[in-house]
Structure 1
């Protein structure tokens, strides 16, 4: 009798726009701040947009503004950008199994892997198509480029203050943390992060963030080792 091949699991239907809208709430105002500051530092508006298209590095782009204004060499700028974005190496390693096999899509997702895009991609269900993953990354970069364009045009035409929009980044990370919590099987990682930062703030307030990251990594390693021991026969 002929053997019936196993049915493939249905591809999940995902509204990529709904996934990207929370990112837009942070990227558009923050991109505006970057574009505004970049132009106020004396650069042409189109160069700000060019940087957001080809660099797309978030915090590193903000770091770029005073360094360019001070006339520092490009080598110093490149080294500083490498140090700031070094965490993305670990992001990429944890996503190797999820990244698509198509080379062009894989390379673009590696390039566009910001903190927020990483957070969204890690919540996607198994079987998500390459088109959906790339569309999420493209939309997220598009919001940043749009914000940069708006801020650069405003900065070139008027002298106004954008004070207060920097809170958009904190609000964005709060939304992404809630989404990660809702999609996770356990709330333990969130509580580990909160308790690590509380302990770090009490012990080393000047280096609280770095200390909290180290404590969280140690907790993750201990958790994985304990889980592996429990699974052994």
Structure 2
């Protein structure tokens, strides 16, 4: 037996719990904030939990709270949610060749693709089976739903000071960025994003994020692709 056979790849030895723990550290407190705000705005606790199960849209759920409190029609809320989460369509398209074969499971996994889940899944080897990807996605949604339930329960019972929890999301993306960097052989995407944001901040600080995303997309479109021959060992494995 060769040393390569004796030592399995480290990615395969990680449990689903280990893979999703960084996301859980962000999703549970952020879900708690959403559940708390939902209840404080006059919504029922069970509706907050149901929202995290059937909507599961993160930032769009936060946006939904004041819209519901203002009495806006459901159609307007649905349209706003679709616009905010349009990027998720491209997440699913980029993972088409890695989704489970069963149509129902493919739809479920596509539904569960949030920014953080997509980041974790794309850091896994391309040979990762679909059921493992499904487990990561569902467990991440479970963390968000758990946080929502805790926040809704506390919001209906105990007054809380949530100041400072808004930093959790930034910290979570920092952790995911480091993991993505470790899985890549080039730091170009990270430096591109940093440079794009620096330029956008200097040109139009009020719209820096949108401009930075657009600049990064342009760079991604014109960046020379990896030679086809470099991918042969992966397909032959």
TM-score (norm 2): 0.89
Distance in 2 of aligned mates of 1:13 and 1:167: 31
Conserved? CA contact 2:40–2:155, under 8 Å: yes
**Aligned equivalent of 1:57:** 57
**Aligned equivalent of 1:66:** 66
Taking the TM superposition and a 5 Å limit, the aligned residue runs for 1:78-157 are 78-157=78-157
Distance in 2 of aligned mates of 1:206 and 1:168: 22
Question: How many Å apart are 1:224 and its aligned residue?
Answer: 3.2
Question: How many Å apart are 1:78 and its aligned residue?
Answer: 0.3
**Aligned partner of residue 165 in structure 1, secondary structure:** coil
**Aligned equivalent of 1:3:** none
Question: How many Å apart are 1:17 and its aligned residue?
Answer: 1.0
Distance in 1 of aligned mates of 2:47 and 2:215: 40
Distance in 1 of aligned mates of 2:13 and 2:24: 21
Runs of 4+ in 1 over 6 A off after TM superposition: none
Conserved? CA contact 2:28–2:147, under 8 Å: yes
**Aligned partner of residue 96 in structure 2, secondary structure:** coil
Distance in 1 of aligned mates of 2:214 and 2:141: 30
**Aligned equivalent of 2:199:** 199
Higher mean C-alpha deviation, range 207-216 or range 21-30: 207-216
**Aligned partner of residue 72 in structure 1, secondary structure:** coil
Residues 1:189 and 2:189 are matched in the alignment: yes
Question: How many Å apart are 1:157 and its aligned residue?
Answer: 0.6
Distance in 1 of aligned mates of 2:204 and 2:165: 29
TM-score (norm 1): 0.90
| Number of aligned residue pairs | 220
The CA RMSD measured in Å over matched residues stands at 1.8
Which blocks of at least 5 consecutive residues in structure 1 are unaligned? Answer: 1-9
Which blocks of at least 5 consecutive residues in structure 2 are unaligned? Answer: 1-7, 231-237
**Aligned partner of residue 139 in structure 1, secondary structure:** helix
Residues 1:37 and 2:37 are matched in the alignment: yes
Conserved? CA contact 2:100–2:131, under 8 Å: no
Question: How many Å apart are 1:205 and its aligned residue?
Answer: 1.0
**Aligned equivalent of 1:211:** 211
Conserved? CA contact 2:98–2:130, under 8 Å: no
Question: How many Å apart are 1:29 and its aligned residue?
Answer: 0.2
